[in-house]
Amino acid sequence: MDRDQLPGARRTILFVNAAHALDHFVLLIYPTAVIVVARDLELDYGALIGLATGAFVAFGLFSLPFGWMADRVGRRRLLATFFLGCGFACCGVATAGGPMAIAGWLFVLGVFSAIYHPIGSSLLVSNAVRLGRTLGWNGVWGNIGAATASGVTALIAAEFGWRAAFVVPGLACVAAGVAYLLLTPGETRPSPPAKSSGGGGEGRTSRTVTLLAIFAVAIVAGGLTFNIATIAAPKAIDERLGLDLPLGLVGSLTTLVFVFGALTQVAVGRLVDRFTLPSIFAGVSLFQPIGLGLAATTTGPLMLLGLALAMAAIYGQVVVNDAMVARYVPAAWRSRAFGIRYFLGFTASGFAAPLIAFLHGQGGFATVFACAAAFGFAIFAAAVATLITSRTRAVPAPAE
């Protein structure tokens, strides 16, 4: 933490980081638990993984209204609702007796999970001293949540059953919510954006719209690659590593792949404080089609390497995306801007589960990762277009 931060800001950032870890953890319990659920319910993987569609669609769809609610309800109250609601929903999934109940509770979990990104990201930026470093470490926490979800879920499910794999993190969410309310200060509303006194507003607006349109393409495609890779990884490693591994070891290998992405987020966060965002975006995004293409065309250790490269690029892009919103959107509009940003990305990513189910049935994970590589190439093309546009037309000045 930076020494010149107030204690209240440090605690807020700590809980925001914890929320990021829990957010990705709870949403990625099911993609690993489904391996055990399939045995219990005697259904195939394709049928069961599709039950997560509602959760991931809600995760994106409800980002937009929660971003708008921030100014009316308060970001602190909404983040507390995130903690408590996710805990309630996880325990609800554990009580489900069949596919429809599982799908329903996963949808509820998706709704509460949608609170974090527009609200948590806005709170994080408001309390940050060094933006890049803070975003980078926040990304690490989120990646740790995603990385440990598979391993922890596998270990708990193998020992105590898949229902316990939902109950334990559910109780952790509730405990974190209570602690957050007790230990963090009330918030102050962001100041309204200052009006520009300079000229050239129309040209600046035109340039901003062009960059935002390109950025939107990258966000939508990035949402798909993010969820395809994170949802498919446990089962892909189980099928394509070429070894007959127990569930716990499959989860641990998946965790290592995600941890590699966490290390990248720290590096990208430091780059954000030193270099221009379009340049970083273009460099990081190149590794998505390369990694996903390698995962599609190989098996064994090379497939693991491809997944690791792809996850590093995917999580690195998240830091860049958030930095763009933080740098170029006025503080009073930031929660809504993050809401729109995550609405686009996560709503698109919600369709990853049925897409995986369809593509897996057509040609296995080679086809799944080949499709993801195509989305990765679209992101790289958008990043290059952003870089060219920013160099030929001056990028708008940062909001702060």
Who's near 239: CB < 8 A, 6+ residues apart? 364, 365
Residue indicated by tokens 């100041």: 191
- Residue 393: the pLDDT is 52
Identify which of 33, 62, 27 has the alpha carbon closest to the alpha carbon of residue 235.
Answer: 33
Identify which of 53, 29, 43 has the alpha carbon closest to the alpha carbon of residue 355.
Answer: 53
Q: How far apart are CA 180 and CA 346, in angstroms?
A: 26
Q: How far apart are CA 19 and CA 127, in angstroms?
A: 15
Per-residue pLDDT tens, the chain, 400 aa: give them: 454 456 678 889 999 999 999 999 999 899 888 888 888 877 777 778 888 888 988 887 888 898 888 878 888 999 999 999 999 999 999 999 888 999 999 999 999 999 998 899 888 888 878 878 888 888 888 878 877 888 799 889 989 999 999 999 999 999 999 999 999 877 655 444 434 333 344 445 555 667 777 888 888 898 889 888 878 887 787 777 756 666 667 666 777 777 777 778 888 888 887 888 888 988 999 999 999 999 999 888 888 888 888 888 888 888 888 888 777 777 777 777 788 887 887 777 767 878 888 898 888 889 999 999 999 999 999 989 888 877 765 444 454 4
Burial class (CB in 10 A: 0-12, 13-18, 19+), 216: middle
- Residue 1: the pLDDT is 47
A 10 A CB-CB count for 7 gives: 9
DSSP string spanning 364-397? Answer: HHHHHHHHHHHHHHHHHHHHHHHHHHHHHSPPPP
Burial class (CB in 10 A: 0-12, 13-18, 19+), 155: middle
- Residue 210: the pLDDT is 72
Joined tokens for residue 396 = 């708008």
Can you list the domains of the chain with their CATH numbers?
7-186+201-392 (1.20.1250.20)
Residue indicated by tokens 């974190």: 176
